[in-house]
């Protein structure tokens, strides 16, 4: 696949990525905060989605047929039934789990307030006063740079030939332990319902910007369950944040992060 590159890119090169090619910068672009909004605005013109990524985590690309084949509601309903079956004994037992001496006991997690799969979170409406997905993505990137997010400076700017942000992890074959077809199907749905955009991946860590987060507690509960079913270890096992607390933190939150061992 050939494509025209945008003007003003830092030094970089085209690399094979399965049957296609991607463009990868030679170093972390020092002006990426200025460059990023322009790349997003030119995305339709060039057909290239920007991503900050560790080159070593690009593996064997996944064809989008695998993502298309995921019947999201059916998969999540089955996954929730199995997750609830395994976790219910822990949710119903408030006795603290044993921990090594000197370590604070994990807080009790009562689990999600659902006995059956409740369905996907409703789509959040577009507000004239809210940020666009492109503005939310640029804001998240600026925040990661400002806080000196560990590992970010080892990333490279990658331009991926793709129609949408939610497909880039499949197209670069992101080599984390995440269930890639399911994750990309979730990202597609989050892109449509919340204006979510993939901004950066490094190691097994994923950062997503959100233009239209839920603002009601009931919607945040539904979204928190979708996050849990992504299987991300920072939500499920590291140790698990009590579900009500995690859901509350999602109200109005314009960035989500996930990682897998």
CA-nearest of 143, 212, 196, 252 to 230 is: 196
pLDDT of residue 99: 75
Give the residue extent of every domain in the chain: 12-69+117-259
pLDDT < 50: residue spans in the chain: none
pLDDT of residue 203: 86
Please tell me the pTM assigned to this model.
0.94
Please write the tens of the pLDDT for every residue from 69-117: 999 999 999 999 999 999 999 899 888 777 778 777 778 899 999 999 9
pLDDT of residue 19: 76
CA-nearest of 147, 176, 200 to 59 is: 176
pLDDT of residue 2: 63
Establish how many alpha carbons lie within 13 A of residue 63's alpha carbon, considering only the half-sphere containing its beta carbon: 4
Buried b (16+ CB within 10 A) or exposed e, 96-123: eeeeeeeeeeeeebebbeeeebbebbee
CA-nearest of 201, 205, 227 to 214 is: 227
pLDDT of residue 185: 98
Please write the tens of the pLDDT for every residue from 109-146: 999 999 999 999 999 998 888 899 999 999 999 999 99
The tokens describing 83, both together, are 């997750």
Residues shown for the chain: 261
pLDDT of residue 1: 54
């Amino acid at each position: 696949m050939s494509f025209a590159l945008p003007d003003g890119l830092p030094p970089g090169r085209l690399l094979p990525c399965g049957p296609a090619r991607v463009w990868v910068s030679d170093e972390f672009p020092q002006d990426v905060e200025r460059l990023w909004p322009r790349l997003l605005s030119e995305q339709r013109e060039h057909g290239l989605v920007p991503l900050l990524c560790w080159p070593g985590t690009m593996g064997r690309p996944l064809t989008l047929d695998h993502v298309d084949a995921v019947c999201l509601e059916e998969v999540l309903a089955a996954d929730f039934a199995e997750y609830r079956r395994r976790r219910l004994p822990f949710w119903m037992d408030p006795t603290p789990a044993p921990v090594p001496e000197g370590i604070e006991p994990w807080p009790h997690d009562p689990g999600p307030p659902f006995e059956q799969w409740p369905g996907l979170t409703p789509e959040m409406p577009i507000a004239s006063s809210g940020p666009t997905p492109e503005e939310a993505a640029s804001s998240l990137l600026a925040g990661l740079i400002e806080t000196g997010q560990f590992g970010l400076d080892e990333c490279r700017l990658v331009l991926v030939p793709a129609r949408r942000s939610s497909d880039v992890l499949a197209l670069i074959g992101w080599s984390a332990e995440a269930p890639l077809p399911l994750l990309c199907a979730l990202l597609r749905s989050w892109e449509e319902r919340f204006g979510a955009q993939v901004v950066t991946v490094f190691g097994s860590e994923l950062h997503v910007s959100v233009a239209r987060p839920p603002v009601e507690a009931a919607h945040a509960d539904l979204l928190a369950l979708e996050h849990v079913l992504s299987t991300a270890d920072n939500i499920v096992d590291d140790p698990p944040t009590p579900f009500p607390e995690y859901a509350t933190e999602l109200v109005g939150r314009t960035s989500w992060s996930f990682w897998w061992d």
